[in-house]
Structure 1
Amino acid sequence: MLTYLIPIVVVVFILAASVKVLPEYKRGVVFFLGRFQGVKGPGLFFIIPVIQKMEIVDLRTVTLDVPGQDVISRDNVTVRVNAVVYFKVVDPERAIIQIENYGMATSQIAQTTLRSVLGKHDLDEMLSERDRLNDDIQTILDQQTEAWGIKVSNVEIKQVDISEDMVRAIARQAEAERERRAKIIAAEGEMQASEKLVEAAEIMSKNPAALQLRYLQTMSDMSNKNASTIVFPLPLEITKIFEQMRHHSGS
Structure 2
Amino acid sequence: MILGGVGFSVFIVLLALLAFSAFRVLREYERGVVFQLGRFWKVKGPGLVILVPGIQQMVRVDLRVVVMDIPSQDVITRDNVSVKVSAVLYFRVVDPARAIIQVERYLEATSQLAQTTLRAVLGKHELDGLLAERERLNLDVQKILDTQTDMWGIKVTNVEIKHVDLNETMVRAIARQAEAERERRAKVIHAEGELQASHMLAEAAEVLGRQPQALQLRYLETLTVIAADKNSTIVFPLPIDVLGPLLRRFAAPPAE
TM-score range, shorter chain: 0.7 to 0.9
Q: Distance in 1 between matches of 2:10 and 2:97?
A: 38
The alpha carbon displacement at 1:219 in A equals: 6.9
Structure 2 residue aligned with 1:151: 155
Count of residue pairs the alignment pairs up: 237
Q: Distance in 2 between matches of 1:37 and 1:118?
A: 42
Structure 1 residue aligned with 2:128: 124
TM-score for both structures, normalised by structure 2: 0.85
Q: Residue 74 of structure 1: SS of its match in structure 2?
A: coil
The alpha carbon displacement at 1:81 in A equals: 0.6
Structure 1 residues 24 and 210, CA, compared in 2 at 3 Å: closer, same or farther?
Answer: same
User: Which of 225, 235, 243 is equivalent to 2:241?
Assistant: 235
Structure 2 residue aligned with 1:178: 182
Structure 1 residue aligned with 2:69: 65
Matches within 5 A, 1:18-167: 18-167=22-171
Any conservation in 2 of the 1:219–1:233 contact (CA below 8 Å)? no
TM-score for both structures, normalised by structure 1: 0.86
Structure 1 residue aligned with 2:195: 191
Structure 2: state its 5+ residue gaps.
245-256
Tell me which amino acid in the other structure corresponds to 2:238.
F
Structure 1 residues 231 and 207, CA, compared in 2 at 3 Å: closer, same or farther?
Answer: closer
The alpha carbon displacement at 1:182 in A equals: 0.6
Structure 2 residue aligned with 1:3: 7
- Residues 184-234 of structure 1: CA deviation (Å, up to 9, x unaligned): 11101100000101111222233344344335556777889534x474321
The alpha carbon displacement at 1:154 in A equals: 1.6
Any conservation in 1 of the 2:74–2:85 contact (CA below 8 Å)? yes
Q: Residue 235 of structure 1: SS of its match in structure 2?
A: helix
Tell me which amino acid in the other structure corresponds to 1:146.
D
Any conservation in 1 of the 2:84–2:164 contact (CA below 8 Å)? yes
Tell me the percent identity: 60
Structure 1: state its 5+ residue gaps.
239-251
Q: Distance in 1 between matches of 2:225 and 2:6?
A: 127
